[in-house]
Amino acid sequence: MRKIYSKIESISGNVITVTATGVRYKELAVVETKYGPSLAEVIRLRHDEVALQVFNGSRGISTGDEVRFLGHPMMVSFSDNLLGRIFDGSGRPRDGGPELTDSLIEIGGPSVNPAQRIIPRRMVRTGIPMIDLFNTLVESQKLPIFSVSGEPYNELLARIALQAEVDLIILGGMGLKYDDYLFFKESLEQGGVLSRTIFFVHTASDPVVECLMVPDIALAVAEGFATRGKRVLVLLTDMTNFADAMKEIAITMEQVPSNRGYPGDLYSQLAARYEKAVDFEQAGSITILGVTTMPGDDVTHPVPDNTGYITEGQFYLRNGRIEPFGSLSRLKQLVNGKTRPDHRALMDGMIKLYASYKESLEKKAMGFKMSDWDEKLLAYGELFEREMMDLSVNIPLEAALDKGWEILAKCFEPAETGLRSDLVSQYWPTKV
């Protein structure tokens, strides 16, 4: 029989302290308030003083409210019953369905043994040429979308979720606008993939502590499925909100801030989540696509900066397009040699020409005279942006490669492209 404590010693921010014994670090408790019960997690022990962060926030908590310790850390139910369901940040149903309590697993488990990982080897097809052709997404990769708020990053995530060839999609929403949450729900429903999707959604109006739990719950479930052979895609939007929630708690706990108020362990905390991306030898995989909004479009802001050091590349979303410069998939070399012989050469060739187009564009803007070559580049750049970069383009990789040759053939002579002659003779379309 667990004891119930009925004296809360202090309330500060979302953190309360009680005097209790026999409590363990990271144990869960229930706080019974006038406005209903809330979960809370032990975040510090000091003699018999126990600090807890309250998931629902501390608003309305009275010093006389009851705190009941549950004797176990945060857990989440893990079974096939999760599929198609929607939960909030503490694992309670959001969709009016029944609460799940069977086969509970712990969240925030240990790291994968590096010796058990394998070199990633399969590409994830998305139907987006800027990804498939130029910065191929690889199974078990962790990749954030760097973007300013206002860009259509959630639309991009939803499209990838709909088209990616994976067994399972887990969406972790942090500080999501309610509209965005509904948008995800609707588009996945219409796309007919809801039955293999699990939602863990914290919306902007929910208590901030629940935001902290979302990645851990989502990834614990993902790990469960991956070790059972499933290929899981985890979408996390937006990790900047997660970092801000962490900052809030750290400041409440009077931790020494390091950079712009963020706690000193920001890197480790983010890494602990992103590093859950993995490919197992004889089981499934976890691929993580996150969104990191850059406050003020500043990539040196601590959140995108630390993220960049952790993840395996990044997609820059700017003006509704994935920028070819700056965007990078570090793992693409592992797979793009095995798709089609012209993949790598076309990828490099088209980007080099696009870079020249940018230079010509600059020259034009400065009023320099345009040569014939400049004119060709300008025509190419426009075509490239319209037929490749536009996010509405939705074609498989092979079609994208063919389209690439078509664009080149429309604008240039073969020798001008700098592509190897054996590839040109094989793929260059005959002009109509």
Binding positions for other proteins, rule: CB under 8 A: 21-27, 43-48, 73, 108-120, 140, 227, 255-259, 263-265, 267-268, 271-272, 274-276, 278, 280, 283, 299-300, 302, 305-306, 308-310, 312-313, 325-326, 328, 330-331
d(CA 311, CA 307): 6
Determine how β-strand 36-46 pairs with β-strand 278-279: unpaired
Nearest to other proteins of 177, 228 (CB atom): 228
| Contact status, residue 251 vs residue 261, Cβ threshold 8 Å | yes
Nearest to other proteins of 299, 393 (CB atom): 299
Nearest to other proteins of 84, 257 (CB atom): 257
d(CA 75, CA 217): 8
**What's the min distance (Å) between Cβ of 116 and other proteins?**
5
Burial class of residue 399, CB neighbours in 10 A (0-12, 13-18, 19+): middle
**What's the min distance (Å) between Cβ of 222 and other proteins?**
13
Nearest to other proteins of 279, 342 (CB atom): 279
Sole residue written with tokens 């629940």:
210
| Contact status, residue 311 vs residue 144, Cβ threshold 8 Å | yes
**What's the min distance (Å) between Cβ of 72 and other proteins?**
9
Nearest to other proteins of 97, 229 (CB atom): 229
**What's the min distance (Å) between Cβ of 203 and other proteins?**
28
**What's the min distance (Å) between Cβ of 17 and other proteins?**
13
**What's the min distance (Å) between Cβ of 110 and other proteins?**
5
Nearest to other proteins of 26, 403 (CB atom): 26
**What's the min distance (Å) between Cβ of 95 and other proteins?**
30
Q: Crossing angle of helices 343-365/372-384, nearest 10°? A: 120
Rounded alpha-carbon distances, angstroms, from residue 24 to 4, 20, 30, 57, 313: 15, 10, 14, 21, 38
Nearest to other proteins of 218, 328 (CB atom): 328
Burial class of residue 158, CB neighbours in 10 A (0-12, 13-18, 19+): buried
Going 315 to 320 to 324 to 325, the CA torsion angle's sign is negative
**What's the min distance (Å) between Cβ of 96 and other proteins?**
32
| Contact status, residue 93 vs residue 99, Cβ threshold 8 Å | yes
Q: Can you say how many angstroms the Cα of residue 103 is from the centroid of all Cα atoms in its chain?
A: 27
Q: Crossing angle of helices 266-274/208-227, nearest 10°? A: 40
Q: Name the E strands within 221-281.
A: 231-237, 257-259, 262-263, 278-279
Nearest to other proteins of 136, 140 (CB atom): 140
